Chains A and B, each alone.
Chain A
Amino acid sequence: QQPVQSPQAVILREGEDAVINCSSSKALYSVHWYRQKHGEAPVFLMILLKGGEQKGHEKISASFNEKKQQSSLYLTASQLSYSGTYFCGTVESGGSNYKLTFGKGTLLTVNP
């Protein structure tokens, strides 16, 4: 089941903050966040696990509400290098092959 991301796009000025949301209709074991720049492969940012463990970057944080099956990615003091498309990927609880299903993505543009 494809997770739903919002917003579809956001435009920021350098230094501003952004929040990207990801929700699923299925119980989740983990949520993964990736950033993809045009013409490049997705790059891992963050993983959030059932039970609250979080792994990722210092300047990018995220939350995972297991009960609501929702995750949010927080980008603070945005930099020009943050521009790209952000995808959340979800692994459903009870799955047998650790399939990662991606949302449709959020296009983030950071302007000077």
Chain B
Amino acid sequence: SAVISQKPSRDICQRGTSLTIQCQVDSQVTMMFWYRQQPGQSLTLIATANQGSEATYESGFVIDKFPISRPNLTFSTLTVSNMSPEDSSIYLCSVGGGTTDNYTFGSGTRLTVV
């Protein structure tokens, strides 16, 4: 399975600011996924990021709030923009090649907005 390095592991940010989260994979992958996990909740998919194309966002998530970059097959970033306390969550990236593959997760970024 792929190994993902995600950073930062945690951050405390002021409302109105932005935070960029990075994920580096040790192998080339076609699809990368970004999830949000609110306190005590399940994982909710934010968007799917394919290299060379615009990210596909799920209902309730918009590019202006969560811009994503995917410059190559091993790297992606998620930015949480104009943050409010409601954005306090764990953000995770994930890679998985297809329906027969297990999906591996980064270690997560615990974001607290004050």
Binding site for B on A (CB under 8 A): 2, 29-30, 32, 40-44, 47, 49, 53, 55, 87, 89, 91, 97-105
Contacts and interface: CB of A to CB of B under 8 A. Distances in A.
A87 B43 contact: yes
B70 to A, nearest CB: 14
Interface string B24-59: 000000010100000001111100100000001000
Interface stretch (B13-21, B60-68, B72-80, B93-101): B93-101
B98 A42 contact: no
B42 A105 contact: yes
Interface residues of chain B: helix, strand, loop or mixed (majority):
loop
Contact of B100 (A47, A89, A97, A105): A47
A53 B102 CA distance: 13
15 contacts: A2-B42, A30-B100, A40-B107, A44-B1, A44-B102, A53-B100, A87-B42, A87-B43, A97-B31, A98-B98, A98-B99, A99-B45, A99-B48, A102-B42, A104-B42
Contacts of A104: 41-42
A98 B96 contact: yes
Given A42-B43, A101-B45, A105-B42, A30 B107 contact: no
Nearest to B45: A99
Nearest to A92: B99
Nearest to B30: A98
A97 B43 contact: no
Contacts of B41: 104
A77 B42 CA distance: 26
A41 B103 contact: no
Contacts of A105: 42
A47 B44 CA distance: 19
A87 B42 CA distance: 8
B91 to A, nearest CB: 11
- Between B33, B105, B106, the greatest number of chain A beta carbons within 10 A of the residue's beta carbon is seen for B105
